[in-house]
Structure 1
Amino acid sequence: MELEAVAALQGITFQAGDILLIRFGVTETIGQMTGAEQAAAMRSGTMCGLDGSKEMVRWLWNRHFAAIASDNMAVEAMSLIIDGVEQPTYELVLHQWASRQYSFLLTSSPVNFPGAIASPANGLAIL
């Protein structure tokens, strides 16, 4: 299981009630694209994420996470191809988490939109 390998590499021990956050690198990838490229990527129906297998569901259930969040469109995967290369979850996570800081307080703050009555989720990690 790739998530177990990543957790072991990061020195993480999962506990009941943890919030599992997975950084796939989607924000950075989309941010480097032009508007037309972003639109095409969103229409492609491809996105990295967790495998939708019964094994993955069982693994998540047995860890008793309070919530799961990621930086992609949905936590589960669709086929993501960047520069013609399929991107496995494990490699994306290892590549993007160069800071080696894996435990933190997760909170949220509203985005400052003057006159707005709501805000998109704005997750903050306090190290």
Structure 2
Amino acid sequence: MRLNHLDLHVPDVAATRDFLIEHFGLAEIEMRGADGLAILNDDAGLELVISRPVAKFGGADQVSTAVATYHIGFILPSRGEVDALYAQLVAADAAIWNAPRAMRGGWVFYCFAPGRILIEVGFRP
């Protein structure tokens, strides 16, 4: 069995989609409606769905709850690439939680995508 996709609920689908495309290299496969649902994928085939909160599932996102209840993670091939992405995000005025640092045997930092999606970026030798 293989994980097929993740669906993240956010109040502004387009803003989160644009952030993930620009800074994390995801590709848009499909956009439904002006701000309804975006389907993205990475170069390994994982689909990431960005959608508005669905009322029948509780209708919540991490902005409306004001907490980060989960995070997603990206791994890069080198410490230098982690530092370069961190610098790119700082220059873009992204919401940074912490600077890159040694953590759990790797080199890691955290930031927030629009929609209060916590993102871990790291390198592990």
TM-score bucket (shorter structure): under 0.3
- Give the TM-score, by structure 2 length: 0.24
Q: Which structure: larger Rg?
A: 1
* TM-score, normalising length: structure 1: 0.24
Please state which structure has a larger fraction of its residues in strand. Answer: 2
- Highest relative contact order (Cα 8 Å, sep 6+), 1 or 2? 1
